[in-house]
Amino acid sequence: MNARSAQVITLGLAGICGVMALVGVMAWMGAGRGYSWLAETEAPPVTGVGRIDTDAVVMPPESDFAEVRQRPIFNDDRKPTPIEPDKPPEIAPPVPLNITLTGIVLTPNVRLALVRDNAKNEAVSLRVGMPLPGDQQVWTLSEIRPRSVVFRNPQDESSEVELEVAPGLTVPPSPRAPPPASPPPNQPPPPGANPAVQPPNAVPGQPPPDRAAELQKRIEERRREMREQAEKLREQQEQKK
């Protein structure tokens, strides 16, 4: 701090002290003695703007506002807005079921349906009571049968989907229905029959060796996929526990 700054500060403090001394002298001489707190009993009544109205507000009758309803000020044409009837809620159209049943797992502990979403080409494993994912989630699996499944939607519509069988693979007959009897090997065909042409050394009722190997390969691949999907579902259930 230089001498110039110290001199300015000293003069400022001296001026403040002089003002305070002057106020003290004036108070000692009686300045301000005519003012005091007013007693509560002598308070004058509040009138004019500060008066509080204790009367309840009474609204005029509704008929006085008829002109306001007939000519609303917020409409450009000053005509009342017509009241439109309530529209019924729009119901979304039902989503068609677009899946293919690729496999069924029926064991004492596991009942699964393996389906493929044809729109997204995705494989899904479902239990009874589980909905389809994505856009077809309105369809819920309600029943699993040996060779078909049944889905239901909120409109209580049901749709049965049959198990897809690979081309050339025939479904074995039910145990209750005995297979048709085959004629003896040396018996000639009945008159008018048109027997199918078979290669030499071919067994009647069975596909060629190359076709049988291809069908066997498809069956093994399908079983492997079903086992993998069942294992994944079992792991997911163990993680949830």
Q: How confident is the model at residue 229 (pLDDT cuts 50, 70, 90)?
A: confident
In-domain check, residue 131: yes
- Which amino acid is it at 173? P
In-domain check, residue 121: yes
In-domain check, residue 63: no
In-domain check, residue 103: yes
In-domain check, residue 128: yes
Q: How confident is the model at residue 133 (pLDDT cuts 50, 70, 90)?
A: confident
In-domain check, residue 213: no
| Domain membership of residue 107 as a residue range | 99-162
In-domain check, residue 73: no
Give pLDDT tens digits for 83-104: 887 777 666 667 888 889 988 9
Written as six digits, the tokens of 164 are 């897809």
Give pLDDT tens digits for 15-42: 999 999 998 888 888 777 777 776 666 5
In the three-class reduction of DSSP (H, G, I as helix; E, B as strand; rest coil), residue 113 is classed as: strand
Q: How far is it, in rounded angstroms, from Cα 111 to Cα 126?
A: 9
In-domain check, residue 47: no
Q: DSSP letter string over 132-154? A: PSGGGTT-EEEEE-SSEEEEE-T
pTM: 0.37
Count the domains in the chain. Answer: 1
Triad 148, 125, 127: Cα angle to 5°: 70
Q: How confident is the model at residue 47 (pLDDT cuts 50, 70, 90)?
A: low
